[in-house]
Amino acid sequence: MSKLTLEKIAELSGVSRSTVSRVVRNHESVSPNVRKRVLGVIEETGYQPNAAARSLAGQRANVIGLVIAEPAQSLFTDPYFPLLIQGVTQATNDYDQTLTLFLFHNHSDEEKLSPRIIRNQLVDGLIVSGTHVDDPLVPQLIESNIPFVLVGRHEDPRVSFIDVDNVTGAQSAVNYLIRLGYKRIGAIAGDLKNRGAIDRLDGYKRALRSRGHRVDETLIINGDYTEFSGFQAMNQLIEQEVDAVFVSSDGMALGALRALSENGCSVPHDIAMVSFDDIPAAMHAKPPLTTVRQAVRRTGAMAVETLLDILESGATPPRRLALPTELIVRSSCGGTGG
C-alpha cells in the first residue's frame, strides 16, 4: 500500500489537509459531519500520523524520555528499576505517549548521551531517575530548559519531582523496632551518593534520637544496594552484637539474612530485621521480611502524569510530590507479625 499522509487522507475524504489535521489533533472547530467522514477514512485506512514530521512542525512529538542514570549494577539485582519502568510504560501506553529509554552504563555514556538527549529534540520531556546527589545532569537539564521530572527529591527549588517519603518510612520502621524493645539497633545503609539512601539513614537516626537513643556510628555500615553488599555488611555488624538491624533495601536484607543464617543466627530470635521496599521476594524470604513498602510503579506513573501536566501547563510552579510509605509487618522482627 502506498504511504499514507495527511494529504492522502484529505483527498480521500474530500477536504483539505488542514481539516484532517484538525480532526486528528481533535482541536478547533470542525463541523460534525466532516469530522465523522474524516474519522471514517482514517479508521478504514489505518492512518497514523508521522511522528517525525509532527515533531518537526509542531512542538509536541508525544515522546517522553526516561533517563536511568545508574551505573546499572543493581539494575537487575534489585527490581526497583524494572518496576519503575513498568509504571512508566503503563502510563505512557495509557496516555498515548511513546517512551524513549536512556540508560547510562557508565560515565562516558552519560557524557556522550546527555548532550544528545538535551538538544536532539527527540523527546518532549524527560523523567530522570537514578541521579546522585550533585549529579551534574540536573543543573544541565535546568539550564537547557527541557521540561523534566525527577524521581527522588532535589534541593533546587526549580526542580519538579516525585519523591517517596523515605525519611518517614525509615523512621516508622525503626520506631517499630524500638517499640518492640530492641536496644542495640544497627543499620545497613544504601549507597550514600543517592538521595534516597541518605534519607533512609536519616530516618533511622531521627527515630533513634526521638526516642532518646544515641546514634552509634559504628553500628552503621554502608552497602550499595546489592545483595552481596548486604551480606558483607551484616557480617561486620554481627561482631557489634546488635539485637536488631534496619536494612535500607530488601535486596540487601536478603544478603544480610544469608549472612546471619551462615553464622547460625536466627531471625528474629537472635537478631530482628526491618528493611525497605517490599519487593516480591520479601514475602518469600525466610523469615518473611517486615519492610517499608514503597509504591514504585505508582511513582513511575505519577512521574509521567506530572510530566504531561508540565508539558501542558508549563513548568511553573514546580510540582513536588512525596508519596507515602507503609510498614508491612511480617515475622522478621518477632512482634505482632507472628
Partner DNA sequence: GGAGAAAATGGGATCGCTCCCAACTGGAAA
Partner DNA sequence: TTTCCAGTTGGGAGCGATCCCATTTTCTCC
C-alpha to C-alpha distance for 14 and 12, rounded to whole angstroms? 6
Helix (H) or strand (E) holding 311: helix 296-313
Give the CA radius of gyration of the chain.
Answer: 25
Choose the one of DNA, a second copy, none that binds residue 330, judging by a C-beta under 5 to 8 angstroms depending on kind: none
Q: State the CB neighbour count (10 A cutoff) for residue 141.
A: 22
Contact with a second copy (CB under 8 A) among 32, 46, 212, 264 = 46
Nearest to 178 by CA among 323, 327, 294: 327
Least distance to a second copy, CB of residue 269, Å: 18
Q: For residue 98, state whether it binds DNA (rule: CB under 7 A).
A: no
Q: For residue 58, state whether it binds DNA (rule: CB under 7 A).
A: yes
Piece in contact with DNA (CB under 7 A), picked from 4-12, 132-140, 166-174, 315-323: 4-12
In 14-144, alpha helices (H): 17-25, 32-45, 51-57, 74-77, 80-94, 107-119, 137-144
Query: Site for a second copy (CB under 8 A): how many residues?
Result: 56
Binding string, residues 199-238; x marks residues near a second copy by CB under 8 A: ----------------------------xx--x-------
Choose the one of DNA, a second copy, none that binds residue 28, judging by a C-beta under 5 to 8 angstroms depending on kind: DNA
* Residues in contact with 275: Cβ distance below 8 Å, sequence separation at least 6, in sequence order: 173, 246, 247, 248, 249, 250, 252, 253, 282, 289, 290, 291, 292, 332
Residues found near DNA in the complex (CB under 7 A): 3-7, 10, 14-19, 21-22, 24-25, 27-31, 34-35, 49-50, 53-54, 56-59
Residues found near a second copy in the complex (CB under 8 A): 4, 46-56, 61, 63, 66, 72, 75-77, 79, 81-83, 85-86, 89-90, 93, 98-103, 105, 109, 112-113, 115-116, 118-122, 227-228, 231, 255, 258, 261, 279-281, 284, 286
